[in-house]
Amino acid sequence: MTTNHGVGDRWLAGEAVPGVAFALHDAVEVTGGPFDGERGTIALLMGLAPEPSYLVTVRARGDVRVRQSSLRRATPA
């Protein structure tokens, strides 16, 4: 759950949230940690502190939690 009441709802509605780089359904690639190199889509903003984190749906693994610093926009295959 996000740290500020209402931020998650605003994010789900498509509003920009300061410091949050990705939107619902954005295609991403994981760039570090145990899921390095996996591609998926943003399913949910999980929290804001110490940095934004997301629930990312990855084909091979299902839903995984990933910090924003370990994500980048996926390029077309």
Domains of the chain listed by start with CATH number: 7-15+27-73 (2.30.30.30)
Q: Provide the pLDDT for residue 77.
A: 62
Q: How many other β-carbons are positioned within 10 Å of the β-carbon of residue 24?
A: 14
Tens of pLDDT, residue by residue over 2-19, are 444 589 899 999 999 999
In the structure, what pLDDT confidence band is assigned to residue 1 with cuts at 50, 70 and 90?
very low
Full-model pTM:
0.86
Q: Provide the pLDDT for residue 76.
A: 72
Q: How far apart are CA 15 and CA 50, in angstroms?
A: 21
Taking phi over 0 as left and psi of -120 to 50 as alpha, with beta for the rest, 53 belongs to: beta
Q: Provide the pLDDT for residue 4.
A: 47
Pairing of strands 71-73, 39-47: unpaired
Pairing of strands 39-47, 27-30: antiparallel
Q: Is 57 helix (H, G, I), strand (E, B) or coil?
A: strand
Tens of pLDDT, residue by residue over 13-43, are 999 999 999 999 999 999 999 999 999 999 9
